[in-house]
Amino acid sequence: MAAKPRQAKLTLGPVLFHWAPGRWRDFYLRIADEAPVESVCVGEVVCSKRAPFFEPVLGAVIERLEAAGKEVVHSTLALIMNEREMDTVRALAAGTDLFVEANDIAAVSLLSGRRHAVGPYVNVYNEDTLAFLARHGATRISLPGELPARSIAALAGAGGPELEVQVFGRLPLAISGRCFHARSRGLNKDGCQYVCAEDPDGMEVETLDGDPFLAVNGTQTLSYTWCNLAGELAELRQMGVHRFRLSPQDTDMVAVARIFRDLLDGRRQPREARESLAGLAGGTPFSNGFYYGVEGVAFREPVGPVS
């Protein structure tokens, strides 16, 4: 008897942007009630100064998500700058009943010996790194967005931790100790006045020719385009990847999750899915260039297996 195909699962990544606490709470409550995703990441990844805004509602959000049967993943900071931030990561690591996603190698060290996930901010580019993380307790690894298909296939073929690939949303490219958002307003990081809240989907950055190129989110640099691998899901599953990440954007993420769930369950075709996603993108272009080993900003029609 043929083996039953492994179930494909969706993960909603953490909100990367500085949304108002009420909006942040309502977003996750709706995800809990309506979105067909198996796992949901919560926590501040970009700037620790934002965390106090949503901490008062975090407990209610987690309770609602768990009541809805979602797996809650606690994401750590991607860049730890001081002892206070290190203490925050230590506190998460000390919660033995929590499933934590490490986004910094220090968090990986603190979680060593217990089940945990590794986020896309840790550079996992080869089989040796994959095996090292697995030996230290990583059971799920969300791969960096810049990996081409051939590298994903090689890692999937190596066995070990469950692999996850981001298939929707702006890709994280870099994070810095400086706050670009504050500098754009003539402010410094310590006196930033939380201006990043003015751009709930990131602040667009243009080239000298006036073409949109990147997006800035506080200390974080993201792609301007939205990654869209709707047309590559089937190939990724053939490689052995069965978990797919949606990164929240300033759009209807419940609708996005339903589109990808329909794709995975065979109720929708890739071209139809891309058309529906384009309607939700509000004119922001899509990209899949990294997957094909070309410039990340490019978008290519799926052409079958990538050698």
Beta bridge partners of 138: 116
Q: What is the pLDDT of residues 47-87, one digit of tens each?
A: 999 999 999 999 999 999 999 999 999 999 999 999 999 99
Q: Check pLDDT > 90 for residue 299.
A: yes
Q: Using 50, 70 and 90 to split pLDDT, how confident is the model at 2?
A: very low
Phi, psi of 155 (to 5 degrees): -70, -40
Would you list the DSSP string of 34-56?
Answer: H---SEEEES-SS-GGGHHHHHH
Please report the pLDDT score of residue 96 as a whole number: 83
Q: What is the pLDDT of residues 20-48, one digit of tens each?
A: 999 999 999 999 999 999 999 999 999 99
Contact present, 259 and 218 (Cβ < 8 Å): no
Q: Check pLDDT > 50 for residue 7.
A: yes
In whole angstroms, what is the distance from residue 175 CA to residue 81 CA? 11
Phi, psi of 35 (to 5 degrees): -90, 130
How many Å is the Cα radius of gyration of the chain?
19
Q: What is the pTM of this model?
A: 0.95
Q: What is the pLDDT of residues 164-186, one digit of tens each?
A: 999 999 999 999 999 999 999 99
**In the block, residue with structure tokens 């606690």:** 74
103-113 per-residue burial string, b: 16 or more CB within 10 A, e: under 16: bbebbbebbee
CATH superfamily of this structure's domain 9-179+223-292: Aldolase class I (3.20.20.70)
- CA-nearest of 243, 291, 285 to 12 is 243
In whole angstroms, what is the distance from residue 2 CA to residue 125 CA? 32
Domain boundaries, the chain: 9-179+223-292
